[in-house]
Chain A
Amino acid sequence: MSERETLTIDTLEEVKIASVATSQSEETKNEKLIVFGEMLLAKSKSLLLAALGLVIFGGLWELLSSITKDALPGPIATLTVLYDMISDPFYDYGPNDKGIGLQLFNSIKTVLLGFFLGSLVAIPVGILMGASTICKQIFYPIVQLLKPVSPLAWFPIGLVVFKDTGLATIFIVFITSLWSTLINTSFGIASLPQDHKNVAKAFGFSKMRYLTKILIPFSLPHIITGLRLSISVAWLVIVAGEMLSGGAGIGFFVWDSWNALSLEKVISAIIIIGVVGLLFDKLFTYIENKVAYKA
C-alpha cells in the first residue's frame, strides 16, 4: 500500500470536512431567513402589482360602460349578476335553464374526455415519430397539413360520423388535443442526448430499464408541456364548439345569454371561462415543475 498517497488524501478530506462542518449550520440558518424574507417581499410586490392591474382594468371597463350609456354593463352590475350565478350554481329548471355550475361541469367533462382520448393517441404516435425517422416521415406531413385547420371545421365531420352533437363536440376537442402533445412528445424523444444512450449501452440496460429510467424521465417534461398547450387550446375550442352544438355547456350558456340579451351573464361567463382556463394551466405547470430536472 502507498502510505504517502493515502495520507495525502486523508488530510485533504479532513480539512475539507472540518471546514464545511463548522460553517454550515449557522450560515444555512441565516441564508434561509434571508431567502424567506426576500421571497415574501417579492410575492407581496407581485400581488400588489397584480391588484393594480385589476384596478386599471376595472376603471377602463367602467369608463367604456359609461361612454356606451350602460349598453355595456359596468363592473358592479356584472359582478352582482356573477355573484347571483355563483351562489346558486346547480339549479336545473329544464333543458334551457340550468345553473352555471352544471354548465361548467358539462364543459369540463367534455374537454377532459376529448383531451384524454387525444392524448391517448398523441403520446404513443409522438413517441413513434420521435424514435423512428421512418415513422416521422410517414406522419409528419399529415400533422403539418391538419394542424393549422381550425378544429371547428371538423364539427360537420363529427356530426356525420357520430350523428350526435355531444359526441361531435368531444370529437373536435379530441382533434384539438392532438397536435401540441404529438409535436412536443416527438421532439422530446428525438432530442435524447447521445450521452444518456451511451450510459444505457455501456452498462447493458434492458429495454425496460432504458424506457423507465432514461427515455421516459427525459421526455416527460416535454410531454407535459405538450399536454399543457393542448388543454389550453381545447378549453378555447370548447366554448366555440358548444355554441355550435348547443344544448349544454358554458359555450351554450354564453350563446343563450346573448340571445336573452343578458350581457352581464355573458361577461360573467367570460370571467368564469378565464378562471377555469387559468386553473388548467396552473395544474399542468405544477405537474411540469414536478417532473422537471436540472441537467
Chain B
Amino acid sequence: MSYLEIKDLEISFPTPKGKYIAVRDINLSIQKGEIISIIGHSGCGKSTILNAIAGMLTPSAGSVVLNNQSIKGPGPDRGIVFQNYSLLPWLTVYQNIFQVVDSVMEGTATEKHEIVEKNLKMVNLFEHKDKLPGQLSGGMKQRVAIARAFAINPGVLLMDEPFGALDALTKGSMQLEVLKLWNLDNREKTIVMITHDIEEALFLSDRIIVLNNGPSSTIREIVEVHLPRPRNKIEIVKMPEYIDLRDKLLHLLTDKFSIEDMGMVYKG
C-alpha cells in the first residue's frame, strides 16, 4: 500500500435537479515525497479531489487512505495552501501562523513561538512579521500561506492553484521557494498541487494527473515526468523530453477545445 492511496473515489453533491457527480473513478497511488500536479480545465473537479484529500469534503463513494488511515476529516498531517491565500486580515503575519500552530501542535508556548519564527525566516518574512496581510504584496501573502502550511510540519502539502494569482516573475520565484522548502525537508513531504499552467506542472512535478472535463470527470491520463532534479528552468526547456511532454500535455488539454472553436467559426 502506498503512502497516499485514492481508491474508486467519487464525489457528488445533491442539487434540486438531482445528484451532481463532480468526479468519479479516481484511482491514484502516491508515494511519500512525490510531487503531483493535477491539471485540467476550470470546473473539472481538480479542487474537489484536493478537498477530498484535505478532508474538507466527504467522498460519496470510494476512499482516501493516508498512511494506512482512512481520511475522515481535516487533520494536522495535511497542510493546505488555499487558492486565495485565505489569511485572516485582522491578524498580523506572525499571528496568522501562530494561531494555526497553536491550534494544531502540541508543546509549550516557547516551542510554538520558535516554530513560527523558524518558518517565517524560511520564507524571508521575519522582518514583516508585524504587518497585516493588507500591507503585503500578493507574493508575500502567498509566502505567508505557504509558511503557515509548512509550520505544522504536515506529511502532505496540498496546494490549490497556489501561484495562480501571481505575476510571472513572482510565480517563478515562488516555485523555487516551494522546491527549496521541499529540499530543506529532505524531499520527504508529499506535495499535491492544482495548476492549469503546463510549464509549472512540468517544472515541479514527478507526475501530472490530467483530468477530463466535468461534470463527472475522470482521470484522462497520468503523465510521468522523469526530468532530472535539481531542475533548472532555463535548461530543462531545451531538453527533448521536456518538449515532448509539453506537446503531449498541450494536446491532452486542447484537442477538444480546438474542435469546438472550429465549430464556432464555421457556424458564425
Q: Which residues of A contact B (CB under 8 A)?
A: 1-6, 8-9, 12-13, 195-196, 198-199, 201-206, 209, 213-214, 217-218, 293-295
In angstroms, how far is the closest chain B Cβ from the Cβ of A116? 25
Contact check, A214 vs B103: say whether CB atoms are below 8 A apart: no
10 new A-B pairs (CB below 8 Å) besides A6-B180, A203-B100? Answer: A2-B179, A5-B176, A5-B179, A5-B183, A13-B124, A196-B88, A201-B56, A202-B56, A205-B99, A294-B89
Q: Which residue of B lies closest to A193 (CB)?
A: B86
In the bound assembly, the distance between CA atoms of A195 and B84 in angstroms comes to 8
In angstroms, how far is the closest chain A Cβ from the Cβ of B155? 15
Q: Which residues of B contact A (CB under 8 A)?
A: 54, 56, 74-76, 80, 82, 84, 86, 88-91, 99-100, 102-104, 124, 132, 134-135, 152, 173, 176-177, 179-180, 183, 229-232
In the bound assembly, the distance between CA atoms of A293 and B88 in angstroms comes to 10
Contact check, A5 vs B104: say whether CB atoms are below 8 A apart: no
- If over half of B's interface residues share one DSSP class (helix, strand or loop), that class is named, otherwise mixed; here it is loop
Q: Which residues of B contact A201 (CB under 8 A)?
A: 56, 74
Q: Which residues of A contact B183 (CB under 8 A)?
A: 1-2, 5-6
Number of A-B contacts (CB under 8 A): 80
Contact check, B88 vs A199: say whether CB atoms are below 8 A apart: yes
Contact check, A195 vs B74: say whether CB atoms are below 8 A apart: no
- Known A-B contacts A5-B176, A6-B180; the reply to A203 vs B74 at CB < 8 A is yes
Q: Which residues of B contact A198 (CB under 8 A)?
A: 56, 82, 86
Contact check, A209 vs B103: say whether CB atoms are below 8 A apart: yes
- Known A-B contacts A1-B183, A5-B180, A213-B99; the reply to A202 vs B89 at CB < 8 A is no
Q: Which residue of B lies closest to A200 (CB)?
A: B103
Contact check, B132 vs A293: say whether CB atoms are below 8 A apart: yes
Contact check, A202 vs B134: say whether CB atoms are below 8 A apart: no
Contact check, B88 vs A9: say whether CB atoms are below 8 A apart: no
In the bound assembly, the distance between CA atoms of A202 and B104 in angstroms comes to 10
Q: Which residue of B lies closest to A216 (CB)?
A: B90
Q: Which residue of A lies closest to B75 (CB)?
A: A204
In the bound assembly, the distance between CA atoms of A209 and B98 in angstroms comes to 12
Contact check, B177 vs A9: say whether CB atoms are below 8 A apart: yes
- Known A-B contacts A203-B152, A204-B103; the reply to A218 vs B177 at CB < 8 A is no
In the bound assembly, the distance between CA atoms of A5 and B228 in angstroms comes to 13
Contact check, A12 vs B76: say whether CB atoms are below 8 A apart: no
In angstroms, how far is the closest chain A Cβ from the Cβ of B126? 12
In angstroms, how far is the closest chain B Cβ from the Cβ of A13? 6
Q: Which residues of B contact A1 (CB under 8 A)?
A: 183
Q: Which residues of B contact A295 (CB under 8 A)?
A: 89, 134
Contact of B230 among A5, A13, A293 (CB under 8 A): A5
Q: Which residues of B contact A9 (CB under 8 A)?
A: 173, 176-177, 180
Q: Which residues of A contact B179 (CB under 8 A)?
A: 2, 5
Q: Which residues of B contact A293 (CB under 8 A)?
A: 89-90, 132, 134
Contact check, B90 vs A3: say whether CB atoms are below 8 A apart: no
In the bound assembly, the distance between CA atoms of A203 and B104 in angstroms comes to 6
Residue of B103, B135, B177, B231 with most partner-chain A CB within 10 A: B103
Q: Which residues of B contact A294 (CB under 8 A)?
A: 89, 132, 134-135
Contact check, A204 vs B104: say whether CB atoms are below 8 A apart: yes
Contact check, A218 vs B230: say whether CB atoms are below 8 A apart: no
29 A-B interface contacts by CB (under 8 A): A1-B183, A2-B183, A5-B176, A5-B179, A5-B183, A5-B232, A6-B180, A8-B176, A9-B173, A195-B82, A195-B84, A195-B86, A199-B86, A202-B74, A202-B82, A203-B99, A204-B75, A204-B104, A205-B99, A213-B88, A213-B91, A213-B99, A217-B88, A217-B91, A218-B90, A293-B90, A293-B134, A294-B132, A294-B135
In the bound assembly, the distance between CA atoms of A10 and B144 in angstroms comes to 19
In the bound assembly, the distance between CA atoms of A204 and B76 in angstroms comes to 8
In angstroms, how far is the closest chain B Cβ from the Cβ of A201? 6
Contact check, B103 vs A205: say whether CB atoms are below 8 A apart: yes
In the bound assembly, the distance between CA atoms of A203 and B74 in angstroms comes to 7
Q: Which residue of B lies closest to A291 (CB)?
A: B90
In angstroms, how far is the closest chain A Cβ from the Cβ of B144? 12
In the bound assembly, the distance between CA atoms of A214 and B87 in angstroms comes to 11
In angstroms, how far is the closest chain B Cβ from the Cβ of A157? 41
In the bound assembly, the distance between CA atoms of A170 and B157 in angstroms comes to 58
In the bound assembly, the distance between CA atoms of A202 and B87 in angstroms comes to 13
Which 10 A-B pairs have CB atoms at the shortest separation, nearest pair first?
A2-B230, A294-B134, A217-B90, A293-B90, A195-B86, A203-B100, A5-B230, A293-B89, A202-B80, A202-B74
Residue of A2, A195, A217, A293 with most partner-chain B CB within 10 A: A2
